[in-house]
Amino acid sequence: MLEELEAGDVKKSGLTPWPRLWHNLRASRQTELTEQFPAHVVSAWLGNSERIAAKHYLQVLDNHFQKAARIPARTTPERGDFETHRVPGNAEIPQFCGISGAKVGDTGFEPVTSTV
């Protein structure tokens, strides 16, 4: 009811109401909190299950792609050490990374350093 009243007030003011306002606000907050705390904790705080959160609320944001594009290495569970991801020389970064058209050398973004 509150959402309907607020949407009516917004329309009266000549503006367009944000569709599904409360759902969108909840989805944004659930996504933000899950970045900082475990999903089961956030779901308990907001009163839903991890399954419901994943299906209806959690969002993939542009900054997730940007952050992933900057990660030069990953830990391999079998060996526990780092494995560098190499990109073929002068490969173009895909459009979805948010840095379209950038060129990557044989060693990726990071400068070559000696191993410790």
Q: What is the mean pLDDT of residues 3-23?
A: 78
Instruction: Determine the pLDDT at residue 28.
Output: 93
Q: How far apart are the first and last CA of the chain?
A: 62
Query: Domain residues of the chain, as ranges?
Result: 2-59, 63-104
pLDDT in tens, 51-86: 999 999 999 988 888 888 887 765 555 555 544 445
Cα-based distances in Å from 48 to 23, 24, 27? 13, 15, 12
Q: Compare 16 and 46 and report the one with higher pLDDT.
A: 46
Instruction: Determine the pLDDT at residue 63.
Output: 87
Decide: residue 72, CB within 10 A, 0-12 exposed, 13-18 middle, 19+ buried.
middle
What pTM does this model have? 0.50
> Residue 41 and residue 11: Cα distance in Å, rounded?
37
Residue whose structure tokens are 């759902």: 23
Residue 113 banded pLDDT, cuts 50, 70, 90 = low
Q: What is the number of other CB atoms lying within 10 angstroms of the CB of residue 86?
A: 13
Instruction: Determine the pLDDT at residue 54.
Output: 92
